[in-house]
Amino acid sequence: MQKRLTPSITALQCFEAVARHMSFTRAAEEMHLTQSAVSKQIAQLESILKHPLFRRVRQRLQLTPVGLLYQSEVKEILTKIDMSSRYILSYGSETEVLTIGTQPTFGARWLIPRLNRFMKENPGIHVKVQSELKPFDLVQANIDIAFFYGRGTLPGAECREMFEAGMVPVCHPDLMPQDGISELAGLADMILIQCASRPEAWHDWFFHQDFHTDSSYNGPRFDTFYMCMRAAQAGCGIAMVPRLLVEEELRDGKLIIPWHYEQPSDGSYFVAYSEHSAEVPKIKAFVTFVQSEVSGGL
What is the per-residue pLDDT across 149-197, written as a single tens digit (0 to 9) for each?
988 887 778 999 999 999 999 999 999 887 778 899 999 999 999 999 8
The domain made up of 9-91 has a fold known as Arc Repressor Mutant, subunit A (1.10.10)
| φ, ψ (nearest 5 deg) of residue 63 | -80, 140
Q: CA torsion, points 113, 115, 117, 118, in degrees to nearest 10?
A: 160
Residue range 96-165+267-295, CATH number: 3.40.190.10
Answer whether 241's CB lies under 8 Å from 170's CB.
yes
- The pLDDT value given to residue 3: 66
Please check whether the two domains, 9-91 and 167-252, share a CATH topology.
no
**C-alpha count within 13 angstroms, C-beta hemisphere, residue 29:** 5
* Whole-number Å distance between alpha carbons of 278 and 281: 8
For the chain, the structural domain boundaries read 9-91, 96-165+267-295, 167-252
pLDDT at 139: 60
As a whole number, the mean pLDDT across the chain is 90
List, in sequence order, every residue forming a beta bridge with 148; answer none if it has no partner.
Answer: 270
Could you write out the DSSP letters of every residue in 99-151? EEEE-HHHIIIIIHHHHHHHHHH-TT-EEEEEE-SSPP-TTTTT-SEEEEEES
Which one, of 19, 42, 14, 40, lies nearest residue 29 by Cα? 14
Q: How many other CB atoms sit within 10 Å of the CB of residue 193? A: 26
CA distances from 6 to 11, 32, 143 (A): 10, 23, 28
- Mode of pairing for the β-strands spanning 192-195 and 221-222: parallel
Identify the pLDDT of residue 152: 80
Phi, psi of 76 (to 5 degrees): -65, -40
The model's pTM: 0.67
pLDDT, position 213: 92
The CATH architecture of the domain made up of 167-252 is 3-Layer(aba) Sandwich (3.40)
Most distant pair of Cα atoms in the chain: their distance: 81
Show Cβ contacts of residue 128 under 8 Å, excluding neighbours closer than 6 positions.
91, 97, 98, 99, 100
pLDDT by residue (tens digit) across 57-96?
888 999 999 999 999 999 999 988 887 777 666 555 544 7
